Amino acid sequence: MKRKIIRILSKKFSKPLTCLTSYSPTISKILDGNVDIILVGDSLGTTLYGMKNLKGVTIEMMKKHGLAVTNNVQKSITAIDMPYKSYTNKRQALKNAKDIIKYTKAKLLKLEINKKNMSIIKYLSEKNFNIIAHIGVTPQSYNDFKKIKAVGRTNIQRENLIRLAINAEKAGAIGVLLECITQETAKKITSSISIPTIGIGSSKYCDGQILVFDDLININKMEKTPRFVKHYLQFANLAKKAVQKYSRDVKKGKYPNKRYSYK
């Protein structure tokens, strides 16, 4: 598996990486082999549990959903998030990282990073964890997602983000996720490091892209979505029509007919 991880991440030098989130067996089976990396994201807090932010996501939530995903993935590489306040110091980070990876068997571990917790990456990397460093907009630090704005517009922000990515690589990270970072800054970050960058809202100037699967298919039929979200399917509309047709058939006595009944 280590060779497979290295081979996929080496796509920095060939074709862009494709990544999507999953929290369930059904979606995982659909994604498996069709994307390079499947992330069990802490976005499950808002997507599945209706939380206002990610601060209520727990280790146990990540473990249960993580196992449900990894048990149903054979071809893609699995990654999982460390939830809010689960890696505030080295001892806690190691304990929780071991717990999550041992339980789920996920291959990559993603942490939201700033200059204050850079040492956590180095420590976990030295313990043989495959770390993805998440920089730029880090959702775990927000109480209100409406206040999220793209970063990397100013020279200071740009320099800080580039330095953060470089230091993450030096600390042992095997990839860097860039969230809501401006095109120019994302391009400079990608050219400044030798490990892959995976973007979400960070332009085409990354070595790969990731989206939340529910956003991809517009399952929630959101009227207002982040600028970077592209809906590849209007699932909510299709599902609504299917439910309406089912209700009509039941009320009119068309379902279940003999075809759907036992003799």
Would you list the domain boundaries of the chain?
2-232, 236-263
- Topology, domain 2-232: TIM Barrel (3.20.20)
188 token code pair = 């400079």
∠ CA(204), CA(108), CA(160), 5° rounding?
50
Q: What is the DSSP letter of 146?
A: G
Q: CA separation (Å) from 250 to 236, 240, 263?
A: 21, 16, 20
CA Rg value for the chain: 20
Packing angle of the helix pair 155-171, 118-126 (nearest 10 deg): 20
pLDDT of residue 14: 74
Q: Which residues of the chain have pLDDT under 50?
A: none
Please state the separation of Cα 186 from the chain's center in Å.
18
This prediction's pTM: 0.95
Which pLDDT belongs to residue 112? 98
Q: Closest Cα to residue 219, out of 235, 232, 207?
A: 235
The C-alpha atoms of residue 227 and residue 126 are separated, in whole angstroms, by 37
pLDDT digits 0-9 by tens, 190-243: 999 999 999 999 999 999 999 999 999 999 876 678 899 999 999 999 999 999
CA 57 from chain centre, in angstroms, equals 14
Structure letter (DSSP) for residue 154: S
What is the Cα 250 distance to its own chain's centre?
40
Of 60, 179, 184, 223, catalytic: 179
179 is catalytic: yes
Distances in Å between the Cα of 4 and the Cα atoms of 37, 38, 108, 172 are: 11, 14, 12, 18
Q: Which of helix, strand or coil describes residue 181? A: strand
Rounded to an integer, what distance in angstroms lies between the CA atom of residue 77 and that of residue 130?
12
Tokens 């085409």 correspond to what residue? 204
- Give the Cα separation of 61 and 53 in Å (integer): 15
Left, alpha or beta for 105 (phi > 0: left; psi -120 to 50: alpha)? Answer: left
